[in-house]
């Protein structure tokens, strides 16, 4: 039953009608007997500057964020985790609450670097990187230490994945993006935080991808929207057999290049595993209650996906 004390959570993005997050979180709330409900907020990109204020004004306990709001909300938050600060993007915002473990989870820093905040403050987290790493290790049996990677895109998800890979010991990461300067900024941003990893930038074009594809261990497609057409135009013939191509977009029925990669002996990975692991971490941050990946998978299966 929804009452006046029910905590409200949701997903903010555009578009979001395809999301599995409401069914996942609401089922978990029910199983754990948590008085909370999770919905979706399809917000026009032109209104991105109002999202942080809306979270405060409506008293939302927490939200997940997807494109195009992961970066625009950052200036309106009271604090960021270290990882969110490094990548400059968040996909989870939690309102600090004395009733739910101070906002759920550790490692939260305020705007002045303190680990202590006041009730009502909004803190930003980024679970994309940890979600990707956990899925890579679990589904593909890969320890990325010593690997080389190419990341398609340079937005919040791409930077989170790049930072996580660098932190896990990947020796080189190339960002390929339609706007080259955005890829260059991603390299500058992450390079200072991960001096042991070599970052480089290139345009998201077939010639540039061909130049960097030889010897790659990992390719992660983090593009969204019309980026799919640019990815479809790449020549994947230079990827070695046994390398891995991951597509982070779990909702796409036919992601570009998966069939071509599989036909060349490249191992392919869809984004559902990343969703499962970052979803489990989001739930912990929201509620202070841990759930394992198998539980989340079971919840998703209940919905018939």
Distance between alpha carbon 176 and the CA centroid of its chain, in Å? 18
Q: Picking from 100-109, 110-119, 152-161, 266-275, which range would have the lowest pLDDT averaged per residue?
A: 100-109
For 36-74, write each residue's pLDDT tens digit: 999 999 999 999 999 999 999 999 999 999 988 999 999
pLDDT of amino acid 106: 37
Same domain, 135 and 264: yes
pLDDT digit string (tens) for 181-223?
999 999 999 999 999 999 999 999 999 999 999 899 999 999 9
Q: What is the mean pLDDT of residues 258-268?
A: 96
Q: Which residues pair with 202 in a beta bridge?
A: 176
Instruction: State yes or no: pLDDT of 82 exceeds 70.
Output: yes
What does DSSP say about strands 218-221 and 198-203: parallel, antiparallel, or unpaired?
unpaired
Residue 110 lies in a domain: yes
2 located within any domain:
no
1 domain residue, yes or no? no
> Which residues are catalytically annotated?
70
What pTM did the predictor assign? 0.91
254 in the same domain as 197: yes
58/178 same-domain check: no
User: Rounded to an integer, what distance in angstroms lies between the CA atom of residue 30 and that of residue 25?
Assistant: 9
Q: How many folded domains does the chain comprise?
A: 2
Q: Which domain holds residue 142?
A: 129-270
Is residue 86 scored above 70 in pLDDT? yes
What are the two backbone dihedrals, phi and then psi, of residue 64, each rounded to the nearest 5 degrees?
-95, 150
The pLDDT mean for the chain works out to 91
The CATH number for 247's domain is 3.40.50.720
Sign of CA dihedral 110, 114, 115, 117: negative
Measure the CA–CA gap between 112 and 296, rounded to whole angstroms: 35
pLDDT of residue 25: 97
pLDDT given for residue 290 in this prediction: 97
């Amino acid at each position: 039953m929804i009452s006046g004390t029910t905590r409200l959570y949701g997903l903010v993005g555009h578009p979001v009608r395809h999301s599995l997050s409401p069914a996942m979180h609401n089922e978990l709330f029910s199983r754990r007997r948590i008085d909370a409900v999770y919905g979706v907020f399809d917000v026009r990109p032109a209104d991105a500057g109002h999202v942080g204020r809306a979270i405060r004004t409506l008293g939302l306990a927490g939200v997940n964020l997807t494109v195009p709001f992961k970066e625009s909300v950052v200036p309106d938050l009271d604090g960021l985790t270290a990882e969110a600060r490094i990548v400059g993007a968040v996909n989870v915002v939690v309102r600090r609450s004395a009733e739910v473990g101070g906002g759920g989870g550790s490692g939260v820093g305020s705007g002045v670097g303190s680990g202590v905040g006041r009730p009502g403050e909004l803190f930003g987290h980024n679970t994309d990187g940890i979600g990707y790493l956990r899925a890579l290790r679990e589904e593909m049996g890969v320890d990325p230490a010593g690997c080389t990677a190419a990341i398609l895109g340079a937005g919040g998800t791409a930077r989170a994945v790049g930072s996580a890979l660098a932190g896990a010991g990947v020796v080189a990461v190339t960002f390929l993006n339609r706007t080259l300067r955005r890829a260059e900024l991603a390299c500058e941003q992450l390079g200072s935080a991960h001096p042991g990893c070599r970052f480089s930038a290139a345009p998201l074009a077939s010639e540039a991808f061909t130049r960097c594809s030889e010897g790659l261990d990992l390719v992660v497609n983090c593009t969204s929207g019309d980026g799919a057409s640019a990815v479809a135009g790449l020549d994947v013939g230079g990827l070695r057999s046994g390398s891995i191509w991951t597509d982070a977009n779990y909702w796409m029925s036919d992601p570009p290049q998966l069939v071509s990669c599989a036909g060349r002996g490249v191992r392919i990975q869809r984004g559902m595993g990343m969703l499962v692991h970052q979803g489990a971490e989001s739930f912990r941050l929201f509620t202070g209650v841990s759930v394992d990946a198998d539980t989340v998978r079971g919840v998703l299966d209940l919905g018939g996906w």
